[in-house]
Amino acid sequence: MKIGILTSGGDCPGLNAVIRGSVLKGVISHEAEFVGFRWGWRGVVERDIMPITRHDVRGLSKQGGTILGSSRTNPFEGEQGGPENIGRMLDEEGIDAIIAIGGEGTLTAARRLFDEGGIPVIGVPKTIDNDLAATDYSFGFDTAVEIATEAIDRLRTTAESHNRAIVLEVMGRHVGWIALHSGMAGGAHAILIPEQPMGIEEICGYVESVRDRGRAPLIVVAEGFKLDTMEEAHSHLGLDAFNRPRLGGIAEKLSPMIEERTGIESRHTVLGHIQRGGAPSAYDRVLATRLGMAAADAALDRAWGSMVTLRGTDIERVSIADATGGLNVVPQSRYDEARILFG
């Protein structure tokens, strides 16, 4: 069997470990052949293909980024896109399956290609946001939380030195898992997430409570957070390839509002793509490797339209439709648990 692998959407730590796990399992256990599509779905549409051998993945699990490159290309757009053209390309190249490693946008595209054209695809969940349903955790999340927690630790010392309030913005389009975990780990004085809109007066109440105790307030906010007066999450960066708003900037919006209402000098920091970069944590290396190995097995079993997933400590399979049918949101109980620590 000849299997093509792609990494699509935003990059994250652990992508190379998935590639390595798939190739080693496929070559050693099944004598499969592997190729990579460069730049995500763009490589599928444009036939930008490279061979991947066992030698090519040697020592790859500790390396950040992706050797295949990534993009936010929509495989249904362009003259060469769509299931009919992609199916013809696979036949002509002798490729029997695609392992698509990606998040919400990537896997939604994979589901459509399978549903509408029978494209033989296996999904691997990738998102630092941890927002995909049907998997308990996705690789990249643990590393992102570690990076955000270190940032909180560093910001705390400079905030205390100047007696300032600092608002740290982390990623999280629809869900606030990174903000929740890093905020709890770093001892943030308030955690603002998309699932829980909040008024500016309540936020300022937490800030003033911290100030009154002689501390420097530190707030963690997910990029998708909305004040209770906002209709949509803050965005001034246009749309991505899947016509979704490119979020970012809510911390810059909140910081002056806090300073105006409380009189506390306030600053903001947007962590941004730092959360995606660098070497993956040990946990993410192991999880990504296991998911990659399971994806190779699923391809050899011709379990098209399925996604490998983590349930507890076990790797299982679910349909991509189930995985993309809803979001893995922060439940109320988890937020109430963290809220005890605010102020």
Q: Which pLDDT score is estimated for 83?
A: 95
Asked if the model's pLDDT at residue 15 lies above 70, the reply is yes
pLDDT digits (tens, 9 = 90+) for 95-117: 999 999 999 889 999 999 999 99
- Asked whether residue 330 is assigned to any structural domain, the reply reads no
- Half-sphere exposure (Cβ direction) of 292: Cα atoms closer than 13 Å: 29
Whether residue 209 is contained in a domain is answered as: yes
pLDDT in tens, 57-98: 999 999 999 999 999 899 998 889 999 999 999 999 999 999
Is 95 a member of any domain?
Answer: yes
| b/e 202-214 (16+ beta carbons within 10 angstroms → b) | ebbbbbbebbeee
Query: Which residue ranges are tagged as binding site?
Result: 10, 72-73, 103-106, 127-129, 164, 171-173, 223, 267, 273-276
What distances in angstroms separate CA 14 from CA 28, 63, 185, 287, one per listed residue?
A: 21, 8, 22, 8
- For residues 106 and 197, state if they share a domain: no
The residue behind tokens 């002056």 is: 256
Q: At what angle do helices 177-186 and 332-339 cross, to 10 degrees?
A: 20
Mean per-residue pLDDT, 197-224: 97
Residue 16: per-residue pLDDT:
98
Helix (H) or strand (E) holding 116: helix 104-117
Residue 331 DSSP class: P
Amino acid at 181: H
* Together in a domain, 204 and 285: no
Q: Is 129 a catalytic residue?
A: yes
- In eight-state DSSP terms, residue 312 is T
CATH code, domain with 91: 3.40.50.450
264 and 300 inside one domain: no
Report the number of distinct structural domains present in the chain. 2
* Within a domain: 189: yes
The tokens of 107 are what?
């896997």
Q: How confident is the model over 265-321, as pLDDT tens digits?
A: 999 999 999 999 999 999 999 999 999 999 999 999 999 999 999 999 999 999 999
What percent of the chain clears pLDDT 90, i.e. is strictly above it? 89
Give ∠ CA 11-37-113 in degrees, rounded to 5.
90
Mean pLDDT of the chain: 95
Mean pLDDT across 154-171: 96
List of residues 6+ apart from 316 with CB closer than 8 A? 308, 309, 310
pTM: 0.93
Give residue 231's domain range: 141-276
Report the binding-site residues for Mg(2+). 104
Of 248 and 179, the structure prediction assigns the larger pLDDT to 179
Catalytic residue among 129, 142, 284, 297: 129
| Residue 242, pLDDT score | 63
Strands 121-125 and 97-102: parallel
Residues 6+ apart with CB under 8 A from 34: 2, 3, 4, 5, 22, 23, 26, 27, 51, 52, 53
